[in-house]
Structure 1
Amino acid sequence: MARLHVVTGKGGTGKTTVAAAMALALADEGRRVLLVEVEGRQGLAQLFDVPPLPYVERKIAVGPGGGEVFALAVDAEAALLEYLDMFYHLGRAGKVLDKVGAVDFVTTIAPGLRDVLLTGKVYEATRRKAHGRLAYDAVVLDAPPTGRITRFLNVNHEVAGLAKVGPIRNQADSIMGMLRSDITRVHLVTLLEEMPVQETLDAVEHLEALDLRIGSIIVNMVRHSPLDDEALTLAAKEKLPLAELAKGLKAAGLPADKATVAALAAETHDHAVRVGLERENRGRIDALGKDVVELGLIADGIDTGALFDLAEELTA
């Protein structure tokens, strides 16, 4: 039933990349998907190698299944002007306010209003209809990072001291109703590292306290060890048979002097320790009891082709 997919994660986990891949994965069999960013970084334009996105929905890709992906960069000031025109019919007067800096002033002194405007645009796009059907089959939101996601989505609380009644309050109530409904899922992107995993655990707790529904925990940049468990155990205990390492190096036509063998053993020890820590962190994620999705590390960097590869992984 989900049609709004909110993607968050600690900075550096590949949140925007995963959001883009998810939009491509959802663009199947003629489906129309809207991919939205709200942080003003133009990260989507860079990923898809297109010009900076304006405050208008623009087609940027065709999904692997033949659907279409549109993108939108939501700007709080432009959203406020649109809001003022929609509810108060200011028209040209709103543009005058923008020129004198009033719009920026309002959203600065009332940061909660900024989040209502940003999520409000997503709310409108999710519900909009065209020709008797929904304009978009799915909307993917590249949301703020986990450290700010609870505040960003808790729009009711953010406007509590700003508006008790009226259009702003009604808008916040409507947005909150959609975010808590069956059509919305919040997906969290993490790495198998201490800080991203801890932020993920904290975010799940805080989001569920707001009655928001968790979709998947997406473990990104997964690296699989070429060593079996026995070799990893020996390496972690620094008990690898050095004679066997030397024999293997010689068979590969590589130097097998004591210094090289010792360096290889030390490298293998570090690798085994890292694998052990990753497994511990994976266990903490699994303990949440949520759906977990793994995406492999793409060593050569992310380009459009890599996005399609990740989309196919998500689909599978």
Structure 2
Amino acid sequence: MSRLQVVSGKGGTGKTTVAAALALALATEGKRTLLVEVEGRQGIAQLFETEALPYEERKIAVAPGGGEVYALAIDPELALLDYLQMFYKLGGAGRALKKLGAIDFATTIAPGLRDVLLTGKACEAVRRKDKSGRFAYDYVVMDAPPTGRITRFLNVNDEVAGLAKIGPIHNQAQAVMRVLKSPETAVHLVTLLEEMPVQETVDGISELRSARLPVGRIIVNMVRPEVLDAADLELVRTVPRSTVARSLSSAGLGGARRGGRAERLVDPLLTQAEEYAERYALEHEQRAVLTELGLPLHELPLFAEGVDLAGLYELARELREQGVS
């Protein structure tokens, strides 16, 4: 497993939920995982039912087997202060710049600077070691920007390294890209079995490969259970209405006489079956498109009532059983 796990996906596919479940799945057998948020939405805090995350690494969960999940919401302004202190030893001068608004000004107008700081902070956590020489975290999971922006987000340091030919900025950008374009990193894409998310996933994989960024797995989220298989659906298309009415009557749902309760239920039931058949066909078609991409494919179930903390642990268990951890 790559040590930096980047999770992206079209908006609405549940990429933050999948990133959180992946962090839990990886934090097994005493492993330590850092879950990084870069978009400032505090989605991780909501999922783990905790208070808003500060700009510090904080333990938020214990995984089965005693592993630990830490979380960090990266603030670009504070990350820039870290950067200035690390390379230029500004200390108090950096804090004074923040008070003057210079830090906010820089992260707002400088092209790509914000993304440089976000990716740089995540890669620093990947490389960090303790005094014994052991990595501080076994895995770093990044809840990354959506699919349409992920390639530019991850590749921004290549652009910066090209602009700054020498000096600490150039060296830092190159160090980050060495991590992002190595086997240490895997970019996973979250999708649904729907046309638009699947097409965006196909396009995103093409862009990542063109940029020589390492593509990992495809995770299909919110998969509905199959109530009827292909044979059942074929039977639904051909069964006479009278047979359906008699079956409903036998189940105690009213007499089968014309105009009776069972008779009135036939059309709504057949309409619902037709709608299910259309969705069944669409989902199988989209699954075939994803399979053709030749990447590991995983599926996570739909939770009709939404994903709470217990559901998050259930999704982590599903990922472990499918061999993701």
Runs of 5+ consecutive residues of structure 2 not aligned to the other structure = 255-260
From the superposition, tell whether residues 241 and 213 of structure 1 become closer, same or farther in structure 2 (CA, over 3 Å): farther
1:275 and 2:280 matched: yes
Alpha-carbon distance between aligned partners in 2 of 1:92 and 1:127, rounded to the nearest angstrom: 27
Moved more, 163-172 or 283-292: 163-172
How large is the RMSD of aligned CA atoms in angstroms?
1.5
From the superposition, tell whether residues 244 and 228 of structure 1 become closer, same or farther in structure 2 (CA, over 3 Å): farther
Alpha-carbon distance between aligned partners in 1 of 2:147 and 2:131, rounded to the nearest angstrom: 37
Moved more, 158-167 or 261-270: 158-167
Alpha-carbon distance between aligned partners in 1 of 2:202 and 2:224, rounded to the nearest angstrom: 21
* Partner SS state of residue 112, structure 2: helix
Alpha-carbon distance between aligned partners in 2 of 1:137 and 1:160, rounded to the nearest angstrom: 28
Match of 1:233 in 2: 234
Match of 1:214 in 2: 215
Match of 2:202 in 1: 201
Match of 2:258 in 1: none
Residues 4 and 126 of structure 2 are in contact (CA less than 8 Å); yes or no, is this contact kept in structure 1? Answer: yes
Summarize the alignment of residues 122-137 of structure 1 with structure 2, pairs less than 5 Å apart: 122-132=122-132, 133-137=134-138
Residues 9 and 190 of structure 1 are in contact (CA less than 8 Å); yes or no, is this contact kept in structure 2? Answer: yes
Moved more, 40-49 or 103-112: 103-112
Alpha-carbon distance between aligned partners in 2 of 1:225 and 1:244, rounded to the nearest angstrom: 24
Alpha-carbon distance between aligned partners in 2 of 1:244 and 1:140, rounded to the nearest angstrom: 54
* Partner SS state of residue 33, structure 2: strand
The amino acid across from 1:8 in the alignment is S
Shift of 1:275: 0.8
Match of 2:113 in 1: 113
- TM-score (normalizing by structure 1): 0.95
Shift of 1:159: 2.0
Deviations 1:243-290 (A, max 9, x none): 232233223333544332111101110110011011110010000011
Moved more, 245-254 or 120-129: 245-254
Match of 1:243 in 2: 242
The amino acid across from 1:88 in the alignment is Y
Shift of 1:162: 4.8
Shift of 1:165: 2.5
Alpha-carbon distance between aligned partners in 1 of 2:41 and 2:186, rounded to the nearest angstrom: 23
1:296 and 2:289 matched: no
Summarize the alignment of residues 1-316 of structure 1 with structure 2, pairs less than 5 Å apart: 1-132=1-132, 133-159=134-160, 162-235=163-236, 238-255=237-254, 256-316=261-321
Residues 240 and 265 of structure 1 are in contact (CA less than 8 Å); yes or no, is this contact kept in structure 2? Answer: no
Match of 2:257 in 1: none
Runs of 5+ consecutive residues of structure 1 not aligned to the other structure = none
Identical-residue share of aligned pairs (%): 61
Tell me the number of residue pairs that the alignment of Structure 1 and Structure 2 aligns: 314
Alpha-carbon distance between aligned partners in 2 of 1:202 and 1:26, rounded to the nearest angstrom: 28
Residues 295 and 313 of structure 1 are in contact (CA less than 8 Å); yes or no, is this contact kept in structure 2? Answer: yes
The amino acid across from 2:149 in the alignment is R
Deviations 1:170-190 (A, max 9, x none): 211111111111111111100
Alpha-carbon distance between aligned partners in 2 of 1:252 and 1:144, rounded to the nearest angstrom: 51
From the superposition, tell whether residues 161 and 129 of structure 1 become closer, same or farther in structure 2 (CA, over 3 Å): closer
The amino acid across from 1:142 in the alignment is D
- TM-score (normalizing by structure 2): 0.93
